[in-house]
Structure 1
């Protein structure tokens, strides 16, 4: 008999998980997308002297909603990748 994992899924995601589900390749790209509406991480650990959090994570529900929004968004691209007139 194999044991199944019955622990609830964490409400937080690590940067590695976020990169894996979004397809972004690296941290700088991911952080640059925050300016374009991508969900920002939340601070989990204490702040360092520079004012940044020592530990951050993304809220799973926010990432899942962002993905759902991308899937539901209109797709008005032609074969050459140019936007078609509306």
Structure 2
């Protein structure tokens, strides 16, 4: 993750960081509230704050076997 928590990440950046396989999954999760919502920065551009994505990653529970 970038050190600046306010850095804006593109959809490709978020897919790489999270491991989601498709944009559809990313947008569906953002729409239903299970992933942070993106910011609209104008001209049809959408970005996620790196701090929001980092907080989401840190909130995931480890899987126990």
Using the size of structure 2 for normalisation, the TM-score is: 0.79
What's the C-alpha RMSD, in Å, of the aligned pairs?
2.0
Unaligned stretches of 5+ residues in structure 1 = 1-7, 47-53, 79-86
Higher relative contact order structure (alpha carbons within 8 Å, sequence separation ≥ 6): 2
1:28-74 per-position Cα deviation (integer Å, ceiling 9, x unaligned): 1111111142001101014xxxxxxx11100100000000111xx25
Aligned to 1:18: 14
Give the greater-gyration-radius structure (CA).
1
> Which aligned segments of 4 or more residues in structure 1 are displaced greater than 3 angstroms?
none
Unaligned stretches of 5+ residues in structure 2 = none
Using the size of structure 1 for normalisation, the TM-score is: 0.61
Distance in 2 separating the partners of 1:44 and 1:62: 16
Instruction: Name the structure with the higher helix share.
Output: 2
Alignment coverage as a number of residue pairs: 61
For the pair 1:63 / 2:53, whether they are aligned, the reply is yes
